[in-house]
Structure 1
Amino acid sequence: MHTFQPYPIDKMEFNPFTKIGKEWALVSAGDKTRCNTMTVSWGGVGVLWGKNVVFIFIRDSRYTKEFLDNGDLFSLSFLNEDYRDALNYCGSHSGRGEEDKFAAAGLTKAFRHDIPYPDEANLVFLCRKMAAVPVSEDSFTDSTLMDKWYSDHDMHMMYVGEIVEVTAR
């Protein structure tokens, strides 16, 4: 296991457009008995309701969504480019029916404050869920988005999580 240290959030140099949109991240949720992880490339960071937050989008059909819906804690983890195959695996395999999706992706499951994350990450946001906001068909003001991204009607839920700790190595 790697040694992660708390990292002051106000010292971070973080480009969400690169980190989330291009490099991707893993969202992990659950507990030590059952958990799952999945790749995300939609989301961001900022300040909301007086808190430092992340927001991520998970489709209704995704297995990890069940863990987010049933728990209060999750992680958003970033890995270096050496783990692109693991990110691809976690984005293309459900985990439903797998004994350990982390291991299947070549990752080591770790926990901090009972929140799962991949030990291979170099930056982890440990989060407490604050809101789950459904993206619905009637919420679009640009009708082309529905056709482009939701032709199958597999909608997203937007989760907002307070960043309770940032760890890095």
Structure 2
Amino acid sequence: MRLHLTDPQTVIRDLLPALGAENALLTAGTADRRNTMTIGWCQAGRLWGLPTCTVYVRPERYTYQFMEDQAYFTVSVLPADMKNAMALCGTKSGRDMDKIKECGLTVRTGAGEAPFFEEAELVLVCRTLYAQDLEAARVLPAGEADILPSYGAKGGWHRAYTGEIVEAYSARSS
């Protein structure tokens, strides 16, 4: 087992560069029934005095129902050499195939039985505290020209899920 429990603040520092490279997976469900998807939108920091992570999921995505049904979710950052797995998880639906099996990922579980992947370099295990839908009407005038023309082209507006980071794992040396 490569991954070991670590201080969430250590993992949060390394999260932002990973998201820019599109090699993070959001996973929700249980050890037996789950789905994962590639994400590029994620925020980590402190809210309500707690270490938190916010992820965003469109209602059309298969992962959405898992997020709605479960109290926990995970963000797993895969190594750069797993770009093929990231591409598959970002372009195929779990409704149509078992993406986890197809990618050869090994499922582990953390707090709340939240599934994540042994192959990850970094993992956040989060307990959902808050969820809210993003809305076109809430985009402020300063951002309208940048956001509104292209945002809805791929589907509905995302729901934001903010979770308390209850565990963090790292494959890096402490």
1:54 aligns with 2:56: no
In structure 1, how many angstroms separate the alpha carbons of the residues matched to 2:96 and 2:55?
Answer: 24
Normalization by structure 2: what TM-score? 0.88
Poorly superposed stretches of 4+, deviation over 6 Å: none
Q: Deviations over 1:16-57 (max 9, x none)?
A: 431212243101110123100000001111100111011111
Residue in 2 that maps onto 1:139: 138
Normalization by structure 1: what TM-score? 0.91
Q: Choose from 157, 160, 173 the match for 1:158.
A: 160
Question: 1:147–1:45: structure 2 CA closer, same or farther, 3 Å change rule?
Answer: same
Q: Deviations over 1:63-86 (max 9, x none)?
A: 011100111001001111111110
Residue in 2 that maps onto 1:84: 83
Instruction: Kindly report which structure 2 residues correspond to 1:21-36, keeping only aligned pairs within 5 A, or say none.
Output: 21-36=20-35
Segments of structure 1 that go 5 or more residues without pairing to the other structure are none
Q: More deviation in 74-83 or 152-161?
A: 152-161
Q: State the one-letter code of the partner of 1:55.
A: T
CA positional deviation for 1:147: 1.5
Residue in 2 that maps onto 1:107: 105
SS in 2 for 1:128: strand
Aligned residue pair count? 167
As a proportion of its length, which structure holds more helix?
2
Residue in 2 that maps onto 1:69: 68
CA RMSD in angstroms comes to 1.7
Q: State the one-letter code of the partner of 1:111.
A: T
CA positional deviation for 1:106: 2.7
CA positional deviation for 1:93: 0.7
Equivalent pairs: percent with the same residue? 31
In structure 2, how many angstroms separate the alpha carbons of the residues matched to 1:168 and 1:134?
Answer: 31
Segments of structure 2 that go 5 or more residues without pairing to the other structure are none
